[in-house]
Amino acid sequence: MTVHVVLREEELAVGEARLVAVGERELVVYRLQDGFYALNNYCPHQGAPMLAGRVGGTNAPSDVYCYRYDRDGEIVRCPWHGWEFDIKSGRSLFSERVRVRSYPVVVEDGKVGIRI
Ligand code: FES
């Protein structure tokens, strides 16, 4: 695997996302509170661009008539049909078998690289 440097750390603030290209791949780099994460810019359902997805939280399991919003800033919601994905792993929130491909991100000397 090779590390492809795609941007500098200071180019992306916490809570922001950026589209980058590595060869033929379009990837989205997200900066969360605890670091950088990279997902394919392609929803596994019908191919929507994940960059256009709203980043927020999700409804956590709770008692009847209770509402518990959780994981704010860690979940991306597909812009076309609303499937939710964990930015840190690419996993959908509804199935272990559905995921956006994710890639390890390496930060070194202020440079953000994706290992592919
Ligand atoms: S294209 Fe993403 S949920 Fe349908």
Ligand 1 pocket test target in 41, 43, 94, 95 with most atoms within 8 Å of CB: 43
d(CA 49, CA 55): 13
Q: Is the pLDDT of residue 1 over 90?
A: no
Residue pLDDT, tens place only, 38-92 = 999 999 999 999 999 999 999 999 999 999 999 999 999 999 999 999 999 999 9
Q: How far apart are CA 12 and CA 8, in angstroms?
A: 8
Rounded to whole angstroms, how far apart are CA atoms 24 and 31?
22
25-35 confidence digits (pLDDT tens): 999 999 999 99
- β-bridge mates for residue 105, sequence order: 114
CA angle 58, 90, 32 (to 5 degrees): 65
Q: Which ligand 1 atom is nearest residue 44's CA?
A: 2
DSSP symbol at 92: B
In whole angstroms, give the CA distance from residue 74 to residue 83.
14
What are the extents of the domains in the chain? 3-115
**For residue 8, pLDDT beyond 90:** yes
The answer to whether 40 and 57 are in contact (CB under 8 A) is no
The answer to whether domain 3-115 has CATH 2.102.10.10 is: yes
Query: What pLDDT shows up at residue 27?
Result: 98
> Tell me, what's the pLDDT at 84?
97
Query: Is ligand 1 within 6 A of the CB of residue 51?
Result: no
Both tokens assigned to 39:
């997902």
